[in-house]
Each structure stands twice: as structure tokens, then as C-alpha cells.
Amino acid sequence: MSDVHEQPGLVRLDRADNVAVATTQLVRGRAVSVAEMTVSPRADVPPGHKIAIAPVASAEPIVKYGQPIGLATDAIQVGDHVHSHNLTDHHVVSDDLSSLSPPLPPPHVSRMFDGFHRPDGRVGTRNYVAILSTVNCSASVCHKVVERFDDERMKRWPNVDGVFAATHTTGCALEYHGVKHQMLGRVLSGYANHPNVGGCLIVGLGCEQTTSGYLAEHHGVVSLYAPDGKQLTRDKGTPMLTMQTEGGTRATIEKAEALLEQILDRANKVTRRPADASHLILAVECGGSDGYSGLTANPAVGVVSDRIVACGGTSVISETTELYGAEHLLVRRSRSPEVARNLLERIEWWKEYVGKFGGVIDNNPSVGNKAGGLTTITEKSLGAVSKSGSTALEAVYQYAERIEAAGLVVMDSPGFDPASVTGKVAGGANLVMFTTGRGSCFGCKPSPVIKIATNSALFAAMGEDMDLNAGVVLAGEDLQSVGEQFFEFALRVASGESTCSEKLGIGDHEFVPWTVGPTL
């Protein structure tokens, strides 16, 4: 957020902007000031919405963040409300890589948190036990097993954060090792081997495409069988049960319950120990965005992203359909032409993909986004990309691909929050920061989700769901300082402090793998 000038009622984000953002309800005819000018609204303007501070001719660009966010569809006068009735998206993706200028690495920062050290060298921020279904047919069994491990029973394993079931709607009726099958396999493998998962049990039906053999051969999930309920003796491997082999629903539930106790005993032996913050993989997400998202919460998370990278960790931004319109900013920061081309290839893939169904990539923003003041996908994306901070883009990953690079990376995903976060967690994200202006309520076991309100009214109205309030930026607090406070909170959460979502028990139903391809 560059060159912010604020007066009561309005904020301008860049000297080049011809619109300002209302920070309170503007009333027609009641003058407000911004920078060195006074503006008299020609209509009522809701909070978070845009008002013209310079005349704009029809078909000329509307500028916000110092960037064009679309074209005026009518002549716009100073004081006009600028929104869907007089603004349309107009963005052309450029493949020009001549402007690549990756920034220098930030000065190293040495910070620590208390985490769970895993045999593969990764460090978890939580210690969960997971039950994964390979196919929808075994989903009910997984949930029935989890029901048997209530809070009272879990007191037996004080070092375990809980047991959760990750179930889904597919696993069969798909091409063997086709794109859809591979995507699901990456998600299941990512959760089974996640640093926040201290033990895992996989339950299948027995005749599906996503068999234990497939997961072992193509996705590195080492299967471990414990027939006849015998004690687990190996430290590595994932127990797998199939309902058809075990004798049906009831028999599988009983067997799974016995195995889960043994898995919990093993997971309970691991306790928190100091770890370098370079082990943090932060997933940044925005949902239910509003006109304040790109002013307050998203750039504050960008500060956290920069700090994580400075520590040697990783920050993951996704939602490719909500990078469209701002992709040129990430292209410019790409480490190499190859990284830039990978990002542009994903943008082009999405344009082609949605076109197959008669859609266009700029159908976004949602109804709620528009009610909050966002008009075009370019405007939304320019605000969303600020979650990435200011460091170089190091890599672009396919959905749910394991993240190996340190620094800022992109993971391809849809803009649908549960699917987007599921992919990043499958990739290894052990911490999530999620901004919202409308009030999204979200959790994602096994990774803690820090919810950040873009405005103080939302924070007051939904305080039980919101961990942090970025609305203080509008009240005059320094953005960098607010971001630093958020970073310190993130370290405390990584060390075990509970988030609002965790206190409310949210996170059992947000496992939503994104898969592309037909159901056969």
C-alpha cells in the first residue's frame, strides 16, 4: 500500500489514483476531504466503496493502487460512486518478461518457535492424528471412528491435539492415474505425511481406484498392515484398512478403533521442542473480501510473509483466478524467466479451462465481494496479491504438490477457499493466515488458521471468530507495525496458542480436494 493519504471518510492509496475508498458511510452532498482536495459525494457511498476524485471519460481507465482496475462505461464526474454500474473489467495478460527484476533477499531474521520435530526433518505446529478415506464409500466409517474419540477419552493422550477425519466425494469413477486421480493422490499423500500429523490411518472400501497400492506406488504413502489387531511394531508406515477385507462396516470400525489407540500412543510420545522459524510454511488466503481487504489485512499479511521469508521459511499464495489482473506484479518479481512463464502458463490454463464451460475468468468478484465494494477481478486481485509481501517469487507449484522451496511461492488453485487451503496444506503448509472483510468462518485441521478482520466493525461483530483486527490501520496505526504484531502472534500460534477457529472446534469439514476431470 503506497503513499496513503487519509482524511475523515476517505483514503487514497496512490497519487496516481482517480478514485478513493470510503472509510465510512458517505452521504450525498456532505463534503469530505482527501489529500489536498474536497469532494462532495453525488450519491450515497457505502463504506469500502469507491468515489471518483477526478473526472474520467467513458472508456478511460479507473486507477486504484496506482494500477488500472477497469474501464469507465460512462463519463464519471468527481463525487460519483464508482462501482458495477459504471465500471467494467479490462485486463490483457502480457507475456513480456523484459521487466523481470527480482528483489534482493531480505536481511536474515533469526526467530524460534516450539514445534513437533518429525523423522523427515520437518517440524509441525500441531500434533494431530488423521483418518483418511481413499474413497467416498469409506467416509462414514471414518467419521464413526472419530466419534468414538471424544474430548474425555482424548485426555489419555495429552500431547495429541485431536483426531480428525479427512473425507471426500470421489476416489472412484475416474481414469486410473489420470489428472483427477493424480490430484486426489497428491492431496491424500500430503495429509498422510504432513508435519502436523503425528499418525495416520487410511480406510478404503477395497474396489476403488485409489487403492493403497496406488498411493504407495505413485505418491509415496508407505502402507503398513496390522492384521488381526496385532500391535503396531514399526515406527514408519501408514496403517490401511479396507472394508471388504475386514468384513464390512461394523468390523472395520472396531478394527480401526483398536488401531487408532495404538497410533495415538505413538503420536503422544512426541512433544514440543524449540525449532527455527525456517521450518514454517505459511499459507496466505483471503475470503469474503471487501473494499478494505487490499488496504489493511492483505498488506499486513504481506508484512508477515516477508518476515517468514526473512527467517528462511516459505510463504504460499494461491487462488490463481484471483491473481489474474495482478499477475504482472508477480511476474516482475519472479526469480527467473522460467518461474514467470510457469505462472503465466497457469493463468492461460485457467482461461482455457473456464472457457470450456462457457465462462470467463473475470466472472469474479462474488456477490458478497461486490457488496463490500469490490467491482472487478483486477481490483480484487491487486488487493489479494498484497498478501505476498515484497520478496522474489521463487517457484510455482501444481495443486497439492509438495512444497520444497524456501521463500515466496505460488500454488495453483481455484479461488474457492476450502479447496485452495486444502491444496496448500497438502503441500506442507503448517500455518494459515486468512483475511476476511465480510466475515468468513474457517478452520482447516491439521493446520491452525489465523482469521484477520479487515475492518473494526467486523472484528467487533464477529470477535469470537476473528483473531486479529487489521481495521486499526484505518484508524491511523502504522501498517508495518501492525504486520509485525501479526507476525509475533503467528509465532505464538505456531508454538501452540489456540486460534479462534480451534476454540470453536472448526476444521473437521473443510477438507475439499480440488480435482479436474470427468466422473466416469
Cβ–Cβ < 8 Å for 268, 70: no
* Domain at 5-88: CATH architecture: Roll (2.30)
pLDDT for res 277 = 98
Distance CA 347, CA 198 (A): 36
pLDDT for res 7 = 45
Q: Residue 388 corresponds to which cell in the numbers above? A: 505476498
pLDDT for res 449 = 98
Cβ–Cβ < 8 Å for 299, 68: no
Split the chain (520 residues) into runs of 10 and give each run's mean pLDDT: 50 95 94 88 95 97 96 97 96 92 96 97 98 97 98 98 97 95 97 97 95 86 53 64 96 97 97 98 96 96 98 98 96 98 97 92 82 94 97 98 98 97 98 97 97 97 97 95 98 98 96 95
Domain boundaries, the chain: 5-88, 128-267, 274-503
Burial of 194 (0-12, 13-18, 19+ CB in 10 A): buried
Distance CA 13, CA 294 (A): 10
Tell me the sheet residues that pair with 452. 435, 468
Cβ–Cβ < 8 Å for 238, 197: no
- Compute CA distances 193 → 206, 320, 431, whole Å: 22, 25, 16
Q: How many CB atoms lie within 10 A of CB 440?
A: 19
Q: How do beta strands 197-204 and 37-39 pair?
A: unpaired
Return all residues near 296 (Cβ < 8 A) that are at least 6 apart. 454, 455, 470, 471, 473, 474, 479
Distance CA 191, CA 200 (A): 9
Q: Which has the closest alpha carbon to 351: 314, 325, 390?
A: 325
pLDDT for res 8 = 60
pLDDT for res 231 = 47
Cβ–Cβ < 8 Å for 258, 222: no
Preceding peptide of 61 cis, ω within 30° = no
> Superfamily for 128-267?
Sugar-phosphate isomerase, RpiB/LacA/LacB (3.40.1400.10)
Q: Which has the closest alpha carbon to 491: 297, 318, 310, 317?
A: 310
Q: Which has the closest alpha carbon to 206: 257, 178, 248?
A: 248
Sign of CA dihedral 300, 301, 307, 310: negative
pLDDT for res 225 = 47
